[in-house]
A and B are shown apart, each in its own frame.
Chain A
Amino acid sequence: MAVLLMGNEAIARGALEAGVRVATSYPGTPASEIMTTLMHFGPEAGVYTEWSVNEKVAVEIAAGASYAGARAMASMKQMGLNVAVDAVMSLAYIGVKGGLVLVVADDPGPHSSQTEQDTRLFARFAKLPVLDPSCPQEAYEMTKYAFTLSETLNLPVIVRPTTRVSHACQEVEVGDIPPRPPVPGFVKDPRWVIMPSLSARQHVWLNGQQERARAEFAATSFNKAHLEGPIGVIAGGPSYFYVLEALRRLGLKLSVLKIGTPYPLPEEPVKDFLRRMEKILVVEEQEPVIEEQVISLAWRHHLSVEISGKHDGLLPREGEFNVEKVATAIARFLNLEQNAAAAALPPPPPLPARPPLFCAGCPHRGSFYAFKQAARDLDVIFTGDIGCYTLGAAPPLKAMDTCLCMGASLGLAQGLARVQPGTRLVAFIGDSTFFHAGLPPLVNAVHQRVRLTVVVLDNETTAMTGHQSHPGLAAEGGRVAVDIGRVVEACGVETVITADPMDLEATMAAARRALAAEGPSVVILRHPCPQMAKPSTRCRVNPEACIDCRTCINELGCPALVPTDHGVTINATCTGCGLCAQICPTAAIEEVE
């Protein structure tokens, strides 16, 4: 049966068909929809699913289930893997019992990430096999296969889709979802207790598994050659299709070897291909993972084939590929004259920049505005974090001076406090991120008596990635909401203030109080994400009273506020939050039903 599936949905489907029992994740683009899909279909199939507090915890939970013999999966984006690395590295040594699949979605481009890192390189570092799908159909097949391979090798297996697989849609031939098999149960054994003596033995075993994985991969159909003479291309991931399409555009027929299993690279199919080639081009996004293994293989086996790719600058190590980039590289590889571009259009008129920004009615707009106002006459640095509120760095608010990674707003602020004692530090962090990575640095700040104001921007969801649950929310299923205020108090923070960021006066008062505190202070600014709540009111501008001073637009930058020839108007995206009404100097903005 062919069903239209997004790559992430195809991965979830593959896991369901493979009998996954426990699936965990922390949201992150482009990986989030894997768990969203499992949560939709999983309960009926008997799968336990959860949004874990962070990726390390997600992997540990999946590993626990695997220890008992159940199939388990943890999904995340590439930077999420960084958080989980400690657990993953040790897990490679300890091994698993039930198939354990880590799905790590990479983001070449990057489209919505702080880095462009290549998980295949991490797989090599961790000595874990990695599968690199080129389309949703293959992502589905590889996910199913990954569980079996994991049990064959007793190793976690990584499936690494990229944005153009995760967020691509395709008709996918799917099978039936079988009932979950019974869980064999955990068997007590010293093998589960990592000790230096065990690690020393396991390292030998782990290295040996590389060759077994290589042999397993050689037997799959994920690597396939199409021969058309002695000049060839080796391609992995979505680049495979860019190559096919570029060849079609250039009117060329070259031999193509598709690599779906980039680490450990299977030797036989690659050697067989290299033997038949005079020169080849390796096409893969991000790092030269396949390329370096191919060069090493050719050298070791005295294969006199010319190899091009990233090392000779035919292809870049940064950015996303597309048909044009690959066609240009192939043309250069073959020393072809590139056809002149199609008749160029005259230059277009100047086009507007359109960076992402806070939605109309977003409570973060009020939070940042109030803190900026309250700190106007002070020497203050605002450290920021990862989430929708990262957009607080954009004009007109410009209320964020740093942003590094999840939880770093609190840590960076403490470092700055050490060397700039006169400066006030305000660290912004979202509610989900607070639980993910904000607690350890908060405890540190209390312990070290750092003068720091932490602002928890609590919009009662994980908004940027699609409104996933987090430990601060009870939601359904008998879960318990962990109260941020009580946690913060229990950590020893003396000044803890909660306010509604849509009430600017109250929020500015809270900010002033927190900034005056001697030790660490925490302000929780709570208001639900407008995407989650249906607005009951809207605002409108009274044209009689509006003097077109544009204070509302210039200070808040709300997309619902539109300048016209006759003053400001408010468009249909307004949620009636009333922030603009609170700062309008002529009280020209009023709420309407």
Chain B
Amino acid sequence: MDILIAGVGGQGIILASRALASAAVKAGLPVRTAETIGMAQREGSVVSHVRLGLAEGGPLIPLGSADVLLALEPAEACRNLKYLRPGGKALVSTSPIIPVLAALGSTPYPLEDILTYLRRNVPACYSFDALDLAVKAGSPRALNIVMLGALANLGLPFPAELLLNEALNLLPPRVHDINRRAFALGRRALEV
């Protein structure tokens, strides 16, 4: 199962991909990931490729072959739609992160057009306000865990509890309760 995680530096994309990969290893599956680290982490576009159960292959998901696009930000979902295979599923958080260039007026951010485009062109597009759920769980920073919770409903090759536990292992204990709630809210948001 190939999962492409897309979003903006600072949203916890690396942590989400690490949690998925750790859960896969715990479940005895071969795993490959490729991450954006370095300059782009400062508010830039970030993608992480996660490949579960792939016996022999590189860490990069080829274009048009991701089973799931997990997008923590709508414009980044649109930017990376080329990775999704025909019939693949997209999970999109609808809260935008407006780049400074857009605030300065030098780049567009047509949020409604982007959301409409995604819904119209991806038959299996599940979009919801994950930021709102993260805030309800106790912190906007738990958005990545809300998304993982939703992802856990899409037939991952390991139990949801395993994914949550691996995510918590990567987080300091003081935020465990918030993230447990975030994961549960994500799961409930996408009961498919």
- Residues of A that sit less than 8 Å from B by CB: 2-4, 6, 29-30, 111-112, 135, 164, 167-171, 238, 241-242, 244-245, 249, 322-324, 341-343, 345-346, 348-359, 388, 391, 395-396, 464-465, 550, 553-554, 557-559, 561-563, 572-573
Interface of chain B residues 101 through 124 with chain A (CB within 8 A): 101-104, 106-110, 113-114, 117, 121
CB distance from A393 to the nearest CB of B (A): 12
Interface of chain B residues 85 through 105 with chain A (CB within 8 A): 86, 97-104
B140 cross-chain contacts in A, Cβ below 8 A: 572
Please, how many angstroms separate the alpha-carbon atoms of A112 and B113 in the complex? 32
A349 touches B117 (CB 8 A): yes
B168 cross-chain contacts in A, Cβ below 8 A: none
Write 8 A-B pairs (CB below 8 A) sorted by A numbering: A168-B35, A169-B21, A169-B33, A242-B60, A354-B44, A395-B104, A557-B104, A573-B10
Please, how many angstroms separate the alpha-carbon atoms of A242 and B30 in the complex? 17
Decide yes or no: A357 and B86 within 8 Å by CB, A168-B34, A238-B58 being known contacts.
no
Answer yes or no: B32 CB below 8 A from chain A CBs: yes
B103 cross-chain contacts in A, Cβ below 8 A: 550, 553, 557, 561-563
CB distance from B155 to the nearest CB of A (A): 21
Answer yes or no: B171 CB below 8 A from chain A CBs: no
A171 cross-chain contacts in B, Cβ below 8 A: 24-25, 29-31
B60 touches A323 (CB 8 A): yes
Partner of A354, one of B37, B43, B60, B117: B43
B31 touches A342 (CB 8 A): no
Please, how many angstroms separate the alpha-carbon atoms of A434 and B38 in the complex? 20
B107 touches A353 (CB 8 A): yes
| Stretch in B74-82, B156-164, B172-180, B182-190 touching the partner | B74-82
B10 cross-chain contacts in A, Cβ below 8 A: 359, 573
A562 cross-chain contacts in B, Cβ below 8 A: 98, 103
A351 touches B78 (CB 8 A): yes
Instruction: Write the chain B residue with the least CB distance to A320.
Output: B60
B81 touches A356 (CB 8 A): no
A358 cross-chain contacts in B, Cβ below 8 A: 42
CB distance from B143 to the nearest CB of A (A): 11
A342 cross-chain contacts in B, Cβ below 8 A: 64, 86
A464 touches B45 (CB 8 A): no
CB distance from B72 to the nearest CB of A (A): 13
Decide yes or no: A343 and B32 within 8 Å by CB, A352-B108, A562-B103 being known contacts.
no
CB distance from A369 to the nearest CB of B (A): 14
- Residues of B that sit less than 8 Å from A by CB: 8-10, 17-18, 21-22, 24-25, 29-45, 56-60, 62-64, 75-76, 78-79, 81, 86, 97-104, 106-110, 113-114, 117, 121, 140
Please, how many angstroms separate the alpha-carbon atoms of A241 and B54 in the complex? 12
B57 touches A164 (CB 8 A): no
B32 touches A352 (CB 8 A): no
Please, how many angstroms separate the alpha-carbon atoms of A350 and B34 in the complex? 27
B59 touches A164 (CB 8 A): yes
Partner of B100, one of A30, A324, A357, A464: A357
A112 touches B62 (CB 8 A): no
Instruction: Write the chain A residue with the least CB distance to B115.
Output: A349
CB distance from A434 to the nearest CB of B (A): 20
Extra A-B contacts (7), CB below 8 Å, given A464-B38, A573-B10: A170-B31, A170-B33, A245-B62, A351-B108, A352-B107, A352-B109, A354-B101
CB distance from B108 to the nearest CB of A (A): 4
CB distance from B84 to the nearest CB of A (A): 9
Instruction: Write the chain A residue with the least CB distance to B28.
Output: A2
Partner of B42, one of A30, A323, A356, A395: A356
Interface SS of chain A? loop
Decide yes or no: A348 and B81 within 8 Å by CB, A169-B32, A395-B101 being known contacts.
yes
Decide yes or no: A557 and B100 within 8 Å by CB, A351-B114, A395-B106 being known contacts.
yes
Please, how many angstroms separate the alpha-carbon atoms of A355 and B62 in the complex? 24
A354 touches B8 (CB 8 A): yes
A349 touches B32 (CB 8 A): no
Please, how many angstroms separate the alpha-carbon atoms of A105 and B22 in the complex? 24
B39 touches A396 (CB 8 A): no
B97 cross-chain contacts in A, Cβ below 8 A: 559
CB distance from A235 to the nearest CB of B (A): 11
CB distance from B96 to the nearest CB of A (A): 9
Please, how many angstroms separate the alpha-carbon atoms of A346 and B9 in the complex? 28
CB distance from B120 to the nearest CB of A (A): 8
Instruction: Write the chain B residue with the least CB distance to A170.
Output: B32
Most buried by B among A111, A169, A245, A573: A169
CB distance from A9 to the nearest CB of B (A): 11
A558 cross-chain contacts in B, Cβ below 8 A: 100
Please, how many angstroms separate the alpha-carbon atoms of A542 and B64 in the complex? 47
A351 touches B75 (CB 8 A): yes
A355 touches B44 (CB 8 A): yes
CB distance from A137 to the nearest CB of B (A): 10
CB distance from A382 to the nearest CB of B (A): 20
Instruction: Write the chain A residue with the least CB distance to B112.
Output: A349
A559 touches B100 (CB 8 A): yes
CB distance from A538 to the nearest CB of B (A): 13
CB distance from A586 to the nearest CB of B (A): 18
CB distance from A427 to the nearest CB of B (A): 21
A244 cross-chain contacts in B, Cβ below 8 A: 56-57
Please, how many angstroms separate the alpha-carbon atoms of A573 and B59 in the complex? 31
A464 cross-chain contacts in B, Cβ below 8 A: 38-39
A29 touches B38 (CB 8 A): yes
B58 touches A242 (CB 8 A): yes
CB distance from B90 to the nearest CB of A (A): 12
Decide yes or no: A167 and B57 within 8 Å by CB, A4-B21, A349-B117, A352-B102 being known contacts.
no
Please, how many angstroms separate the alpha-carbon atoms of A168 and B14 in the complex? 11
A4 touches B22 (CB 8 A): yes
Please, how many angstroms separate the alpha-carbon atoms of A171 and B21 in the complex? 9
Partner of A356, one of B18, B24, B44: B44
B43 cross-chain contacts in A, Cβ below 8 A: 354, 356-357, 359, 559
B62 touches A322 (CB 8 A): yes
Most buried by A among B21, B36, B38: B38
CB distance from B48 to the nearest CB of A (A): 9
CB distance from B182 to the nearest CB of A (A): 15
* A-B pairs with lowest CB-CB distance, top 10: A241-B58, A29-B38, A112-B38, A356-B44, A349-B113, A323-B62, A168-B59, A169-B33, A112-B39, A356-B42
CB distance from A136 to the nearest CB of B (A): 9
Please, how many angstroms separate the alpha-carbon atoms of A398 and B176 in the complex? 41
B60 touches A322 (CB 8 A): yes
Please, how many angstroms separate the alpha-carbon atoms of A572 and B56 in the complex? 42
Instruction: Write the chain A residue with the least CB distance to B113.
Output: A349
Decide yes or no: A346 and B42 within 8 Å by CB, A171-B31, A322-B62, A558-B100 being known contacts.
no
Please, how many angstroms separate the alpha-carbon atoms of A168 and B59 in the complex? 6
Instruction: Write the chain A residue with the least CB distance to B86.
Output: A342
A167 touches B64 (CB 8 A): no
A111 touches B42 (CB 8 A): no
Please, how many angstroms separate the alpha-carbon atoms of A84 and B29 in the complex? 41
